[in-house]
């Protein structure tokens, strides 16, 4: 896909992978609209020249606010990047916070589905469109400590694959990006072998440019290869974490 001249809506662009995505897309000549929920990060991103819509996409009200803000805008690229995770683990004897789990489910799964559905009439009117859903290597095989996060990403992966089949032959291309463990606030304290967020973003943008269906990033390439040979082996490797 030729990115220059396109308009992109990138969720979660004020931090982590998204912060690099919006800058790399802008460098490619894309007009970027982004969203975030932290007022300070939103202000900082605006100061860097971006249009930022403050909206908490872990709630229906936040999704509605974002949709209202972009009403009537031509959008060529919809990048569902915003996501959050929290451990949901009974092994230490504690009780996981269901409010955190519910917010994560809405942000990671419901929000992308709502945005795609509500924006579909706009997307269908554009000559060349791409929907990018950022899932995770954990959509392939889960880790024990994050069952809710892994479940949402696996569900979004299934949704993405079915959506791609539905839209085959239209002007809307569907790309799934599967990052590995990336150096962000979400993965703080989780080991040291993490991909820099800027490199992850670079690989997503490269996949967009070549019109890929999937972008298996970094170590996810190896996980995908193992899974293709033995799904049970892939699960046994990842479940330990």
Q: Which of 100, 95, 115 is nearest to 156 (CA)?
A: 115
3-state helix/strand/coil string of 67-119: HHHCCCCCCCEEEECCCCCCCCCCCCCCCCCHHHHHHHHHHHHHHHHHHHHHH
The interaxial angle of helices 98-105 and 147-167, nearest 10 deg, is 20
Task: Reply yes or no on whether 149 is catalytic.
Answer: yes
**CA distances in angstroms from 178 to 45, 70, 81, 138, listed in the order given:** 25, 27, 11, 8
Spatial neighbors of 221 by CB under 8 A, at least 6 apart, are none
The answer to whether residues 59 and 106 touch, using CB atoms and an 8 Å cutoff, is yes
Tell me what the mean pLDDT of segment 70-82 comes to.
Answer: 97
- 50, 106, 149, 159: which one is catalytic? 149
Residue 204, token pair as written in the block:
């997503």
Domains of the chain: 7-238 (3.40.50.720)
- Given a contact cutoff of 8 angstroms between Cβ atoms, the answer to whether 234 and 140 are in contact is yes
Taking the CA atoms of residue 27, residue 132, residue 56 and residue 137 in that order, the dihedral angle to the nearest 10 degrees is -110
Is the pLDDT score of 42 beyond 70? yes
pTM higher than 0.85: yes
Residue 153, SS3 per DSSP: helix
Q: Which residue has 């392939």 as its token pair?
A: 140
CB 176 within 8 A of CB 116: no
Segment 87-143, tens digit of pLDDT: 899 998 889 999 999 999 999 999 999 999 999 999 999 999 999 999 999 999 999
Q: What does the pLDDT look like over 166-193, one tens digit per residue?
A: 999 999 999 999 999 999 766 555 566 7
Residue 36: pLDDT band with limits 50, 70, 90? very high
What is the C-alpha to C-alpha distance for residues 163 and 169, in angstroms, rounded to an integer? 12
């Amino acid at each position: 896909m030729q990115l220059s001249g396109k308009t992109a809506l990138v969720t979660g662009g004020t931090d982590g992978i998204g912060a690099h995505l919006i800058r790399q897309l802008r460098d490619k000549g894309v007009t970027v609209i982004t969203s975030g929920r932290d007022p300070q990060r939103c202000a900082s991103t605006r100061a860097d020249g971006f249009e930022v819509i403050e909206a908490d996409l872990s709630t229906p009200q936040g999704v509605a606010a974002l949709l209202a803000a972009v009403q009537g805008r031509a959008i060529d690229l919809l990048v569902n990047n915003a996501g959050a995770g929290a451990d949901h683990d009974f092994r230490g004897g504690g009780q996981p916070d269901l409010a955190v789990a519910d917010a994560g489910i809405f942000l990671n799964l419901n929000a992308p589905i709502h945005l795609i559905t509500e924006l579909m009439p706009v997307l269908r009117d554009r000559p060349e469109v791409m929907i990018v859903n950022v899932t995770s290597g954990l959509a392939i095989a889960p880790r024990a400590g994050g069952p809710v996060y892994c479940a949402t990403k696996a569900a979004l992966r299934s949704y993405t694959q079915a959506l791609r089949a539905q839209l085959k032959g239209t002007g809307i291309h569907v790309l799934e990006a599967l990052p590995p463990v990336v150096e962000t606030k979400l993965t703080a304290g989780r080991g040291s072998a993490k991909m820099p967020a800027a490199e992850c973003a670079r690989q997503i943008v490269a996949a967009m440019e070549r019109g890929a269906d999937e972008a298996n990033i970094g170590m996810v390439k190896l996980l995908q290869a193992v899974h293709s040979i033995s799904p049970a082996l892939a699960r046994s490797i990842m479940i330990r974490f």
